[in-house]
């Protein structure tokens, strides 16, 4: 079983890339890989509660509730990216990482997908 890390970098409001990356994450986890995810940059918005200004967008992030069912090992986020969004409350339990911790995390995985 390979250890795989999916690094999310896309805002959920710009294009379908964030949704497709989440689909990739769940597909990898469904086929018996040990999969974790790191949200950084604009992707941190995928962990924040949906605001009314984006009510016209389909909220695909509800599928994050399935991460436990798919045995997604760990969910991490960039602490610096979170600071840029004024420390808003996250929708799910995640582990904050600074830049050095992110580099160590990436080195620990067999495969890394940047989406």
How many whole angstroms from its chain centre is CA 62? 12
How is the chain split into domains, by residue range?
3-114
pLDDT single digits (tens) 49-78:
665 444 555 666 666 666 777 788 799 999
Kindly indicate the confidence band of residue 9, based on its pLDDT and cuts at 50, 70 and 90: very high
- With 70 as the cut, is the pLDDT of residue 86 above it? no
Hey, what CATH topology would domain 3-114 get? Hypothetical Protein Ychn; Chain: A, (3.40.1260)
How many other CB atoms sit within 10 Å of the CB of residue 28?
21
Radius of gyration of the chain (CA): 13
Q: What is the mean pLDDT of residues 36-51?
A: 83
Query: Structure pTM?
Result: 0.84
3-class SS of residue 21: helix
């Amino acid at each position: 079983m390979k250890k795989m890390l999916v690094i999310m970098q896309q805002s959920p409001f710009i294009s379908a890339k964030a949704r497709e990356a989440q689909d990739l994450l769940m597909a990898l986890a469904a086929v018996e890989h040990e999969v974790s995810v790191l949200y950084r940059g604009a992707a941190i918005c995928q962990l924040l509660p949906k605001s009314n200004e984006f009510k016209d967008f389909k909220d695909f992030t509800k599928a994050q509730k399935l991460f436990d069912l798919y045995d997604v090992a760990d969910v991490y986020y960039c602490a610096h990216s979170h600071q840029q969004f004024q420390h808003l409350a996250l929708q799910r339990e995640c582990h904050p990482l600074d830049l050095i911790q992110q580099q160590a995390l990436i080195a620990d995985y067999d495969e890394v997908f940047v989406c």
